[in-house]
Amino acid sequence: MARTLITVPSSVRRGETIVLRVLLQHPMESGFRVGADGQLLPRDIVRRFSCSWNGERVVAVELFPAIAANPYLEFSALALDSGTLVFAWEGDHGFQHREQRAITVT
Amino acid sequence: MTASLKRRDALAAVAGLVLLPPARATPEAMAAAIRGFTGGAPLREGKVQLEVATLVDNGNTVPVTISVAGVPPGEVAAIALFNERNPQSEVVRFDFGPRAAARTVSTRIRLATSQQLVAVARLADGSCWAHRVEVVVTLAACIE
């Protein structure tokens, strides 16, 4: 299981903008580096990330090899109702990871 | 004799293959990647702001922030970042959904060398806005 660091405010007021910060532990091997044996290291990156709030999309992100290791993303969402935030990553070699956070809107 | 010549040729060919530098993005490749994102719409300067240190100490992890000002958030459909001289022109692309708020995004990127970065925002009406920043990189990201 990949480790993640997700910053979500525990409670917010309706109509407020909240900033979400997510970090995933992942090497993001670019596929352009040469290993100790002189061979190209095979690419192993996270290609897609998405965040949804009660099933409605906040953002969908496409990542390329130029994203640094342990991909960090920061974006903001509009607080309309309490519910669940779902964060999902998808990458090379069948990599998949999913996290959920509950959020209360008052 | 002929056999050894063939062998020499074969070795030379193999050496040539090995010594070929890896493919690099070029300004033309970047322009093509941007066209792929904009769908051919003309690129205008303004509205979008790319914040990045112009002197980068470590190209392995470079914080960048892209924001769009003077436009209602709901009218920004997508934001993308492109580079000129990494092996690949695309860096990242954000597509916003109905729950997205302010169009300010941050991430950390790799830079192979000193080059130009271009942030492009595509609005709901199809117009595209860009901000170009030249950055100087002292320690390149390990990509070769």
The complex's ipTM works out to 0.91
Residues of A within 8 A of B116 (CB-CB) are none
The whole domain housing A53 covers: 4-105
Whole-number Å distance between alpha carbons of A73 and B107: 5
What pTM was computed for the model? 0.85
Tokens of B105: 């995004």
Cβ-Cβ contacts under 8 Å between A and B: the total is 108
Whole-number Å distance between alpha carbons of B111 and A41: 18
pLDDT tens digits, residue range B91-114?
999 999 999 988 899 999 999 999
**How many domains would you assign to chain A?**
1
**Does residue B132 register a pLDDT over 50?**
yes
pLDDT at B20 (0 to 100): 46
Cross-chain Cβ contact B106/A73 below 8 Å? yes
Residues of B within 8 A of A71 (CB-CB) are 107-108
pLDDT at B144 (0 to 100): 46
Cross-chain Cβ contact B87/A62 below 8 Å? no
Quote the Cα angle for B52-B53-B58, to 5°.
110
- Distance between B87 CA and the closest CA of chain A, angstroms: 8
Q: Which chain B residue's Cα is nearest to A30?
A: B143
Residues of B within 8 A of A74 (CB-CB) are 65, 105-107
Cross-chain Cβ contact A66/B108 below 8 Å? no
**Within 10 A of B87 (CB to CB), how many other CB atoms are there?**
20
CATH code, A79 = 2.60.40.10
CATH class for the domain made up of B23-139: mainly beta
Q: Which residues of A touch B (CB under 8 A)?
A: 17-18, 30, 32-34, 52-53, 56-69, 71-78, 80
pLDDT at B78 (0 to 100): 94
pLDDT at B8 (0 to 100): 63
pLDDT at A38 (0 to 100): 87
Contact B68, B49 (CB under 8 A): yes
pLDDT at B21 (0 to 100): 47
